[in-house]
């Protein structure tokens, strides 16, 4: 037994016969663990288990004295296979550790795929050359010389293209923008939807602009999404010189504040630029909302200016709001107010006609209405704002009233928003008080309608798992 143990092949054979199975079992368990965790390293471990370790075991046996007579070819073939397997496993491990596990937004995540492929190609060529030099005593100096000369020739031929690519890469590594940002450069403004090693894709709302990264790197651009304050849409508007500036400025801010896409981080601001011209700055949630916000602002401003008796663009006429139209509208709502024709005619001195654009707010939560509006034409949505969103209560149409709580001088909890262009007759609360005193039945009708709206509000809130505050008995 001692003679066998003293043989040079004994202990390597024992190591292979015992260590090889134990190593394979350990690598199998490790691979199963990585598969359960969804790790990309599992294929690398399986490659080591299935190929590298068995070949290493064969090499241990072949490397012992007397295992192979002479300088045969097969040991070199096995060593060559082992070297190639080492190259493949190493490259896959580097690819997994450096690129596949890269954190989002890091330089490794932004590293162009073409360059990682090129690096892997160079490593493979160099690795194969070293294997043949070490195993087969091959002269690989010519290979490296050819690679060097080829690199110089390709570099000279593509110096302009490569220079642009490198400039773009530096821009990507600096990361002055990210997906979703809005940038403006050279008269082009858009949202970044894709970034690669060659170009940046901008969605301008009227198509995709593909802009080379080198062009951005060599020029200047503005990242609209990374300002300390929200991006602001600016608009100049003109009123009549007879309009009081304080009222005009307040009107502009009120109209801008009610547009849904306006940012809550900063209030709209107005500056006078002379000759009854005002410049309003409207902070936006996103630079891409500028067109929609300005369109909604100018539309609503036209209606709001006429309701306020101000003269947008110096227009001093309003052919729609006439006394004849007002009297016709009062006669339409007279049955709802229990009024005789002569009483409706008398309201022409105190009531007034109003028009609202789609999306404008007729009633806000927390307001104590100073008047009640009776709808002549159009539709209005009545709802309650909650933490989970806006809950619709009911839809108001012709002859329905907005601002029922004016009579009780209590705050409303609802919001009334115009679904279409709305025409309404506004009656001041003092005048409405006189009507109720002359016609007590009207008060009962108003109370009944308000109770009905409270019931609808309670049902709508219960449908989404919320409750109406029992102390609040008025809706709007």
Q: Could you say which of 3.90.1150.10, 2.30.30.60, 2.40.30.30, 3.40.1710.10 is the CATH number of the domain covering 176-226?
A: 2.30.30.60
Q: Tell me the sheet residues that pair with 297.
A: none
Spatial contact of 466 and 388, defined as CB atoms under 8 Å apart: yes
Tell the CATH superfamily of the 232-307 domain: EIF_2_alpha (3.30.70.1130)
Pairing of strands 389-396, 422-428: unpaired
Label residue 139 exposed, middle or buried (CB < 10 Å: 0-12, 13-18, 19+).
exposed
Residue ranges of domains in the chain: 2-161, 176-226, 232-307, 323-463
CA 372 – CA 81 distance, rounded (Å): 91
Whole-model pTM?
0.65
Which CATH fold topology does 323-463 show? Jelly Rolls (2.60.120)
Q: What is the pLDDT along the chain (476 residues), one digit of tens a residue?
A: 456 656 665 666 777 778 778 888 888 888 888 888 877 778 888 888 888 888 887 777 776 655 555 456 777 778 888 888 888 888 887 777 666 655 565 555 656 565 666 677 778 888 888 877 777 777 666 666 666 666 666 555 545 555 566 666 667 666 777 888 888 887 788 888 887 767 788 888 788 888 887 777 777 788 888 777 888 999 999 999 999 999 999 999 999 999 988 988 889 999 999 889 999 999 998 888 888 999 999 999 999 999 999 999 988 777 888 889 999 999 998 888 888 888 888 888 899 999 999 999 999 888 889 999 999 999 999 988 887 778 888 899 998 999 988 888 888 888 999 999 999 999 999 998 888 888 888 888 888 888 888 888 888 888 777 776 655 545 56
What contacts 355, CB < 8 A, 6 or more positions away? 303, 306, 307, 320, 321, 421, 422, 423, 424
């Amino acid at each position: 037994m001692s003679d066998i143990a003293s043989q040079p092949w004994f202990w390597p054979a024992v190591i292979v016969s015992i260590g090889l199975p134990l190593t394979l079992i350990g690598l199998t368990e490790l691979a199963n663990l990585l598969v359960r965790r969804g790790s990309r390293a599992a294929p690398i471990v399986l490659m080591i288990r299935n190929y590298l370790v068995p070949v290493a075991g064969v090499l241990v046996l072949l490397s012992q004295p007397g295992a192979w007579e002479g300088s045969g070819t097969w040991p070199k073939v096995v060593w060559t296979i082992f070297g190639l397997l080492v190259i493949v496993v190493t490259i896959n491990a580097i690819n997994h550790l450096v690129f596949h596990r890269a954190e989002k937004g890091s330089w490794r995540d932004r590293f162009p795929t073409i360059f990682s492929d090129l690096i892997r190609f160079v490593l493979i060529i160099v690795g194969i050359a070293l294997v043949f030099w070490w195993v087969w005593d091959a002269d690989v100096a010519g290979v490296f010389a050819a690679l060097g000369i080829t690199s110089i020739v390709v570099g000279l031929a593509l110096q302009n293209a490569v220079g642009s690519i490198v400039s773009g890469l530096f821009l990507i590594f600096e990361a002055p923008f990210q997906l979703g940002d809005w940038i403006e450069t050279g008269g082009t403004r858009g949202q970044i939807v894709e970034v690669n090693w060659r170009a940046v894709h901008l969605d301008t709302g009227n198509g995709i602009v593909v802009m080379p990264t080198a062009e951005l790197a060599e020029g200047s651009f503005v990242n609209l999404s990374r300002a300390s304050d929200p991006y602001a849409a600016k608009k100049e508007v003109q009123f009549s010189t007879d309009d009081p500036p304080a009222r005009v400025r307040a009107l502009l801010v009120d109209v801008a504040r009610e547009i849904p896409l306006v940012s809550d981080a900063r209030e709209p601001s107005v500056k006078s630029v002379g000759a009854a011209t005002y410049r309003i700055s409207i902070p936006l949630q996103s630079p891409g909302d500028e067109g929609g916000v300005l369109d909604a602002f100018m539309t609503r401003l036209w209606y709001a200016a006429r309701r306020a008796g101000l003269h947008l663009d110096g227009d001093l006429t309003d052919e729609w709001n006439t006394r004849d139209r007002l009297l016709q509208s009062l006669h339409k709502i007279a049955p709802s107010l229990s009024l005789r024709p002569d009483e409706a005619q008398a309201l022409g001195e105190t009531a007034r006609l109003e028009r609202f654009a789609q999306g404008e707010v007729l009633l806000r939560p927390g307001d104590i209405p100073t008047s009640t509006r009776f709808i002549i034409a159009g539709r209005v949505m009545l709802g309650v704002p909650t933490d989970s969103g806006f809950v619709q209560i009911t839809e108001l149409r012709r002859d329905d009233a907005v601002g029922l709580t004016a009579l009780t001088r209590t705050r409303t909890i609802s919001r009334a928003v115009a679904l279409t262009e709305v025409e309404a007759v506004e009656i001041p609360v003092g005048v409405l008080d006189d009507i109720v005193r002359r016609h007590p039945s009207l008060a009962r009708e108003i109370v009944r309608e308000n109770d009905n709206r409270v019931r609808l509000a309670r049902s709508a809130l219960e449908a989404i798992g919320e409750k109406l505050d029992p102390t609040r008995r008025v809706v709007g």
